[in-house]
A and B are shown apart, each in its own frame.
Chain A
Amino acid sequence: MPEPSPDTPTREAGRWLRERQRPALGTIRAAALAGILAAVASFFQLGGMAWITHQVLVSKQAPAQLVAPVIMVLAAIAVRAAAVALQNRFSASASDRIRLALRRDLLDHFQHLGPIGVGQSSAGTLASEWQDQVEALHGYYAHYLPQMVLSVVVPLLILVTVVWLDWLAALFLVLSAPLIPLFMALVGMGAEKLNQQHMETLGRLSGHFLDRLRGLSTLQLFEYTGAATREIAEATDQYRQVNMKTLRVAFLSSAVLEFFASVAIAVIAIYIGFGLLGYITYGPSPDLTLFSGLFILLLAPEFYQPLRQLAQHYHDRATALGAAAQLQQRLATGPGAATVSPGRAAGNSAAVVEVDHASVVFPDGRIGLEPLSLVVGKGGRKAELVAVAGPSGSGKSTLLHLIAGFLAPTRGAVRVNGGPPGARPFGWLGQTPFIRQDTWAGNLRMVAPEATDEALLDALEKVGLGDLVRQRTEGLETPINEGGAGLSGGQARRLAVARLFLARYPLILMDEPTAGLDTRSEHYLLEAIRQLRDLGSTIIIASHHPAALAAADRCLTLVNGRLQDE
């Protein structure tokens, strides 16, 4: 086993980032190639300009005789501009493709995890991963990766060109070449520290600010907003002072890079000048011309340019690594015990639900359900209303999850209509029903695409929402959140029940459907449960509401995961 080192998570995240680039590998390569093409075009442009200068000033040619070189320079400029535009364009689509694939994979993973696995994290956390963290990868794929290639290839190309022009000048660049890895490290360290420091300050600052924003209504109730505003000003100023102390040092590393780039230009300029004056008789210096001298001078800044740009994109890498670590972990979380087993094919029973000596032990060792057997809706009693009662934590929800197929039994088997649970659509009513940002009709027709307007209104009538819809300007075609009014918790749950009327599922599972409801909603809900049963649905309801228990054909009681005698 490899020794775990402190930077393993970073390396791991780096590997993951490289793996994820697969869907756009070609495009990323194309971006880097376009960048290299731009560099090569720039050699032709700068060389051409140096050549024209030489021809006019030294060989005394009239500019009018130099049409061909001027056209070459113009062409090189056009190629260079086009290549840069293409590089940016390719980078953008590469990042876009990678992020889309990742978002799709995350959604697939959420489906695979099932409601129980997804329920382990807050919806807000998942939303921030699915949106913000995926977005945070953009800079890495769009800017950092192509630039990484360019910062190696372009300086090498320049070096080769300069060796051809004057190997002594190239030596100055080569001498700084061993320094390049050092620069890279310096830039990396500096940028990473800078980024860390900046993020930390920003984090603490936003933390303080966010805390006050979250508590704004509390501050308003206590009429403390004026003082809180002053505190925000003081806190941000303190953070600034602390931050600046470290930044003064951190900026030094980029200053070093800047210094070497400037000094290299200065040294080369002075060397060429002395060579042209004939002061240096060693090596290739006597052969220097205005053309080669000027060309080398024009190339020198380009030698360091890719590296300076890489430094600018360094924070993209740090941001992406942070996000990658989180996303990688999310995609790695297995569904635990929640895998839906394929189950045995059609059993010999014709019951709607058959639980056969099923027990559940959670991964942490807690017992969810002791071995339990249960048959619901057999023979003549197809449409049965079964209530499961018991104190909270007694295993009511676990039993429902088993029947739903959200959870596989540790031992034993569960069959629904003779097949594995969840093989056919069924109804589920919990406490947070799904409401789509759509019209009333859209929210109802999602389960019954063929239903007529009359059927929709009839279903709404049954849950007491008929009047509300009729009041709206466009009736069923009114957006459900018109005017930002939205639905109350009770109204949303009633809408979900209206969907149950339309879908006519043979099996409906309800998990504490009356918890926290207003009186009116509760009244409609209990009435609806009876009607759904009369319409032929088998209903299993986990609840301790007396009215729900009274309406049930059968009442089971669970205590500590064990079924009490009926």
Chain B
Amino acid sequence: MNELRPWLELLAARWRRLVVGGLLMFATVLAGVGLLALSGWFITATALTGLLLAAGVAVQLDIYTPGGGIRFFALARTVSRYLERVYNHDTVLRLLADVRVALFARLSRARPDRVGGKRPADWLNRLIADIDALDTLYLQLVAPPGLALAGLLLAGLVMAVVAPPLIGSLVPLALLPLVLYLLARHTLSPSRNQGEQAEALRGRFVDVIEGNAELQAAHLWSREADALLHNSRTLDNTRLLVERQAALANGLTLMAVQLASLIAMLTGLSLWQTGELSGPVALLFTLAVLGLGEAFTGLPAAFSRLGATLGAAGRLNAEGESRSPTVYDSHPGPGNLQLADFVVEQNGEALVRPVSLDLPLGSRLALIGRSGAGKSTMLDVLAGLSDNWHGELTLAGHSLEPVRTSDWRSGVSYLTQRTHLFSDTVAANLRIAKPDATDQELNAVLAAVALTPLMERLPDGLHSMIGEQGRGLSGGERRRLALARALLRPSWLLLLDEPFTGVDSATIAQIRASMEPWLRGRTCVFAGHGAAALPGTDIHVNLDGDQ
């Protein structure tokens, strides 16, 4: 249950709203109980009075007060129900924001290369599913049990004052937590891992789909498809188990509620016989207990999801960092960058021959090689994203590891191969690099990457939306916008990985000249297939070559 603590703390920060929402829910239940109980009282009272009247006894029954009461409860139930739904929906939406903000902050603190799994798409899918599971924490797992408990306590209190023997009727309801506990216990461990299982199954499915040419060629598709279905049964069986347990708990809950009202009735009637309770009041309690049952009916379904919620909370807790990471070395400031016997590796195999280089401040290096030659991995190391390397790296004479150097990344601007453009305006996408940039600066950097014609074409210029992942732009325009963003960021080390992908050669020639002022004074490292696809450089390193 400890997994839930950080998320319950998030809820607790909004305790006022939760209390008001809870009271509104309680008022709805009370109005429902009141409506039924008073109606039961009224019918019994009128029946008994009617009999006396028929027997010729002169009795009086005030029918207007209970009649008014019944109408009041009918109206109150509707109104409080409506208010409760509106208010609590608002609360849930606020909590939704809290959960997302808290999680995003945690993820941002993790090292960039440690965010996301091997398959970012599957990881994101699971993450979103886990967040959704936590969205219902308040409405499913916190409020309903609280409500049921409060109802039970109030009923007990009223009974203790009016007719203590009636408290016995609450025993079946008081036993329900045991049922819920057993339900949670049986379903907890299998359903806790549902998220991981779904992610793994998704991975396997993608493997089979992507390898399906090879599988169909080898006549192995049916076997792998069967294996996939077999795998999916694990998840299905967990789900079935949870639902069967919940079905049982539902039946037991219904039995407890109905038994409670039967006991209340029988107790009330015997109290009437001994003269301790009037007949109408005995019926009032019977129907009140029946009405109270409504607070219990949703609990089994909610508790059957406890395992899945705990699993989701546990997985989310493991994502990201709760504190800022500790960094060891200090940053000596911009200077000469030297590599000696520098080798990057992947999965334990060296990708390139050892490289030794001297890069004075303001010099430019081109890494040339085919895809897969290790260029991007080298840039990742220089950007402080990866520690898959050995050899020696010195800055201004200090030997250091970029990943473990404080402020290393604040001096680096890095255009990765798969950079992300946000579903926002052109200006907002650029200002990520320099939040205080003026419109003039933005226009200048856009001119450097030959995007001025695009800005003139777009309806709102800098403030035009570019669509999800920049889909409103062509591939070349997207790349150039990303390049402009990297150029705009103030930094002494500029790393550009295949900066001109998808850009036609005439435009490349133009940009190579116009971006020159933005490169001046910075140490630049470019990576690409050939020198022609890169800005002008002093030093070339060809990573291809023979083994």
A278 with B50: CB separation less than 8 A: yes
B158 interfacial by beta-carbon distance below 8 Å: no
Quick one: which of B130-161 are within 8 Å of A by CB?
Answer: none
Among A78, A270, A496, the one with the most B-chain Cβ atoms within 10 Å of its Cβ is A270
A452 interfacial by beta-carbon distance below 8 Å: no
Beta-carbon contacts of A108-123 to B below 8 Å, as 1s and 0s? 1011001100100001
Please name all residues of chain B whose beta carbon is closer than 8 Å to the beta carbon of A270 when the two chains form the complex: 42, 67, 70
Q: Which of B50, B108, B269, B346 contacts A53 (CB 8 A)?
A: B269
Please name all residues of chain B whose beta carbon is closer than 8 Å to the beta carbon of A503 when the two chains form the complex: 218
Binds A, one of B245-253, B358-366, B509-517: B245-253
Q: How far is the CA of A110 from the CA of B213 in the complex (A)?
A: 11
Residue in chain B with minimal CB distance to A244: B90
Please name all residues of chain A whose beta carbon is closer than 8 Å to the beta carbon of B67 when the two chains form the complex: 270, 273
Among A207, A226, A488, the one with the most B-chain Cβ atoms within 10 Å of its Cβ is A488
B218 with A233: CB separation less than 8 A: no
B272 with A56: CB separation less than 8 A: yes
A217 with B115: CB separation less than 8 A: yes
Secondary structure at the B interface, as helix, strand, loop or mixed, is helix
Residue in chain A with minimal CB distance to B547: A519
Please name all residues of chain A whose beta carbon is closer than 8 Å to the beta carbon of B258 when the two chains form the complex: 45, 77, 80-81
Quick one: which of A213-246 are within 8 Å of B by CB?
Answer: 213-229, 232-233, 236-237, 239-240, 243-244
B437 interfacial by beta-carbon distance below 8 Å: no
Please name all residues of chain A whose beta carbon is closer than 8 Å to the beta carbon of B266 when the two chains form the complex: 52, 63, 70
Among B35, B416, B547, the one with the most A-chain Cβ atoms within 10 Å of its Cβ is B35
A263 with B435: CB separation less than 8 A: no
Please name all residues of chain A whose beta carbon is closer than 8 Å to the beta carbon of B473 when the two chains form the complex: none
Among B217, B228, B239, the one with the most A-chain Cβ atoms within 10 Å of its Cβ is B217
B212 with A115: CB separation less than 8 A: yes
B40 with A297: CB separation less than 8 A: yes
Size category of the B interface is 35 or more
Q: How far is the CA of A80 from the CA of B39 in the complex (A)?
A: 24
CB distance from A455 to the nearest CB of B (A): 17
Given known A210-B128, A251-B82, A518-B372, contact A110–B212 (CB-CB < 8 A)? yes
Beta-carbon contacts of B107-138 to A below 8 Å, as 1s and 0s? 11100110111101110110110000000000
A157 interfacial by beta-carbon distance below 8 Å: no
Quick one: which of B205-237 are within 8 Å of A by CB?
Answer: 205-225, 228-229, 232-233, 236
Quick one: which of B260-299 are within 8 Å of A by CB?
Answer: 261-262, 265-266, 269-270, 272-273, 279, 283, 286-287, 290
B340 interfacial by beta-carbon distance below 8 Å: no
B175 interfacial by beta-carbon distance below 8 Å: no
Q: How far is the CA of A427 from the CA of B107 in the complex (A)?
A: 43
Please name all residues of chain B whose beta carbon is closer than 8 Å to the beta carbon of A428 when the two chains form the complex: 213-214, 216-218
B251 with A126: CB separation less than 8 A: no
CB distance from A105 to the nearest CB of B (A): 11
A427 with B254: CB separation less than 8 A: no
B54 with A81: CB separation less than 8 A: no
A406 with B216: CB separation less than 8 A: yes
Given known A52-B265, A233-B97, A436-B207, contact A276–B47 (CB-CB < 8 A)? yes
B85 with A277: CB separation less than 8 A: no
A100 with B236: CB separation less than 8 A: yes
CB distance from B490 to the nearest CB of A (A): 11
B433 interfacial by beta-carbon distance below 8 Å: yes
Please name all residues of chain B whose beta carbon is closer than 8 Å to the beta carbon of A16 when the two chains form the complex: none
Beta-carbon contacts of B386-406 to A below 8 Å, as 1s and 0s? 000000000000000000000
Q: How far is the CA of A491 from the CA of B345 in the complex (A)?
A: 13
A446 interfacial by beta-carbon distance below 8 Å: yes
Q: Which of B47, B112, B229 contacts A220 (CB 8 A)?
A: B112
A177 interfacial by beta-carbon distance below 8 Å: no
Beta-carbon contacts of A141-154 to B below 8 Å, as 1s and 0s? 01000000000000
Given known A223-B409, A228-B104, contact A516–B372 (CB-CB < 8 A)? yes
Q: How far is the CA of A468 from the CA of B73 in the complex (A)?
A: 76
A430 with B213: CB separation less than 8 A: yes
A78 with B255: CB separation less than 8 A: yes
Q: Which of A211, A243, A297 contacts B468 (CB 8 A)?
A: A211
Residue in chain A with minimal CB distance to B258: A77
Q: How many A-B residue pairs have CB under 8 A?
A: 399
A85 with B71: CB separation less than 8 A: no
CB distance from A211 to the nearest CB of B (A): 5
Quick one: which of A72-89 are within 8 Å of B by CB?
Answer: 73-74, 77-78, 80-82, 84-89
A196 interfacial by beta-carbon distance below 8 Å: no
Q: Which of B97, B262, B373 contacts A73 (CB 8 A)?
A: B262
Residue in chain A with minimal CB distance to B222: A111
Residue in chain A with minimal CB distance to B226: A107
Q: How far is the CA of A423 from the CA of B149 in the complex (A)?
A: 68
B269 with A221: CB separation less than 8 A: no
B244 interfacial by beta-carbon distance below 8 Å: yes
A432 interfacial by beta-carbon distance below 8 Å: yes
Given known A205-B96, A248-B86, A434-B215, contact A293–B43 (CB-CB < 8 A)? yes
CB distance from A398 to the nearest CB of B (A): 14
Q: How far is the CA of A155 from the CA of B433 in the complex (A)?
A: 64
B48 with A57: CB separation less than 8 A: yes
A255 interfacial by beta-carbon distance below 8 Å: yes
B440 interfacial by beta-carbon distance below 8 Å: no
A58 with B51: CB separation less than 8 A: yes
CB distance from A256 to the nearest CB of B (A): 9
Q: How far is the CA of A87 from the CA of B220 in the complex (A)?
A: 41
B420 with A214: CB separation less than 8 A: yes
Among B347, B413, B414, the one with the most A-chain Cβ atoms within 10 Å of its Cβ is B347
A433 interfacial by beta-carbon distance below 8 Å: yes
A404 interfacial by beta-carbon distance below 8 Å: yes
CB distance from A335 to the nearest CB of B (A): 12
CB distance from A424 to the nearest CB of B (A): 8
Residues on A lying within 8 angstroms of B by beta carbon are 45, 49, 52-53, 56-58, 62-63, 70, 73-74, 77-78, 80-82, 84-89, 92-93, 96, 99-100, 103-104, 107-108, 110-111, 114-115, 118, 123-124, 126-128, 130-132, 142, 201, 205-229, 232-233, 236-237, 239-240, 243-244, 247-248, 251-252, 254-255, 258-259, 262-263, 265-266, 269-270, 272-274, 276-278, 289-290, 293-294, 297-298, 301, 404, 406, 422, 424-430, 432-437, 446-447, 468, 471, 481, 484-491, 496, 503, 505, 509, 516-521, 523
**21 A-B pairs in the complex with CB atoms less than 8 angstroms apart:** A56-B269, A73-B262, A81-B252, A100-B232, A126-B209, A211-B423, A214-B420, A220-B115, A225-B104, A225-B108, A236-B93, A240-B97, A265-B35, A269-B38, A301-B36, A404-B217, A432-B211, A435-B211, A437-B207, A485-B348, A516-B372
For the complex with contacts A77-B258, A224-B433, 9 further pairs of A-B residues with Cβ separation under 8 Å are A96-B239, A210-B128, A213-B104, A228-B432, A240-B94, A243-B93, A265-B35, A427-B217, A519-B546
